Structure 1
Amino acid sequence: MEPITHNPSQLPGWNIDNDPDNDPTYPMRTRTPDDHKGYSWERPTQQPINIEVLHSNERPNVTAVFGTSVPPSGLSGVIRRFAFKYSENSYLHWLPLLFADRVNVVEGVLSDLAHGHVPNIFAEKGYPIEWKYDKKGLILKLAAFTAVVAGATVLLTRKKR
């Protein structure tokens, strides 16, 4: 196994797209409609839609293939449905989706507890590996989290008085 490096310039392929002569997307402003004449493809067969699939309101239809493992449900699903009412260039689309992800984590933990399973959050967050390869970073992360929780507790306690 190769050692983990914190210097990106040592990564294989680092900065490969820096050469404008080797970048097919550079510069986009000089593209013409004729550049796309050679692109021809048939849309893949539509995957059957047998669950709720959220998709951008900027697109006329659902993508040909999509994930089905986690359909929107619960409070996070309500938040996602709200987000998909807005354009992809809006904060009202992306920020609720980020929030819905966090809500979904809490829903998952509550679901585990309701089914008699106590989740091993420490392991599921990858902390054992981080402890093995980046002890200092993990200690700093946990110290910052502890400081935030302690600070919030102090603020809430003072507010009640």
Structure 2
Amino acid sequence: MAYTADKPVPPPPAEELRARIPGWGVDLDPNDRPAVPRERFDLNTGAHWDFPERQEEKWPRERSIEHKFLTPVFGTSTPPRGLSGALRKYAYRKYSEGRTAHWLILIAADRVDAGESHLRSFATLRPDNPVTETGVLSEISRHGISSRFSQKRADLGHQWLDPIIVGAPWVLAAGGLAAVAFGMLRKRR
């Protein structure tokens, strides 16, 4: 079991694995495995515990469905909140870490979290400023445009996409707000 001083549970018998998995058993001979000289469980590790002290859990943490329990130490910098937190909890509750869906949902949760942060910034005295924060002005004032031509740059092929990737979400958000505002004005008339 992970995080304990106990010897790991032995795998199923070789015959069962060979019947179940085509091509299994390439590294059956211990002499063929590079880690064999180091793969010993009788050495003194110097650890003064059989199981490490557990970190206090201040809120229910996400954990992989492959693990029996939460790891003894975990990150606490950003507790899950809002829609992005719900997406993260869903990814851990529903899918194994070996599934693509798990990671795609986590990536989507990161994008949603970025959107939530942008929206939260509008409630502050200093909202996000996409013009200055994306470095668009440096393209004009710091020789940005001239540095893009007559050079052997690796990013020349996708340079035309950069303004779309950076600016499109803001343009779409502004368009959505304008559509909502016009819709509200029409209802008032």
Structure 2 gaps of 5+ residues are 1-31, 173-189
2:88 aligned with 1:80:
yes
**1:52/1:72 contact within 8 Å kept:** no
Q: Which residue of 2 aligns with 1:103?
A: 112
Deviations 1:5-33 (A, max 9, x none): xxxxxxxxxxxxxxxxxxxxxxx944449
Q: Which residue of 2 aligns with 1:58?
A: 66
2:127 aligned with 1:118:
yes
SS at structure 1 position matched to 2:76: coil
50-59 or 97-106, larger mean C-alpha shift: 50-59
CA–CA separation in structure 1 for the residues paired with 2:39 and 2:121: 52
CA–CA separation in structure 1 for the residues paired with 2:124 and 2:88: 25
Q: CA deviation at 1:116?
A: 3.2
Deviations 1:74-98 (A, max 9, x none): 1111111111021110012111001
Q: Which residue of 1 aligns with 2:56?
A: 48
Partner residue of 2:162 out of 123, 128, 145? 145
C-alpha spacing 1:117/1:57, structure 2 compared with 1 (3 Å): same
2:76 aligned with 1:68:
yes
CA–CA separation in structure 1 for the residues paired with 2:156 and 2:112: 26
After TM superposition, the score normalised by the length of structure 1 is 0.57
Q: Which residue of 1 aligns with 2:103?
A: 94
Given residue 97 of structure 2, which amino acid in structure 1 is its aligned partner?
A: E
Structure with the greater alpha carbon radius of gyration = 2
Q: CA deviation at 1:71?
A: 0.9
C-alpha spacing 1:70/1:106, structure 2 compared with 1 (3 Å): same
SS at structure 1 position matched to 2:39: helix
C-alpha spacing 1:61/1:123, structure 2 compared with 1 (3 Å): farther
Given residue 88 of structure 1, which amino acid in structure 2 is its aligned partner?
A: E
Structure 1 gaps of 5+ residues are 1-27, 154-161
Given residue 160 of structure 2, which amino acid in structure 1 is its aligned partner?
A: A
SS at structure 2 position matched to 1:46: coil
Given residue 63 of structure 2, which amino acid in structure 1 is its aligned partner?
A: H
Q: CA deviation at 1:44?
A: 3.0
Q: CA deviation at 1:145?
A: 2.8
More helix by share: 1
**1:80/1:100 contact within 8 Å kept:** yes
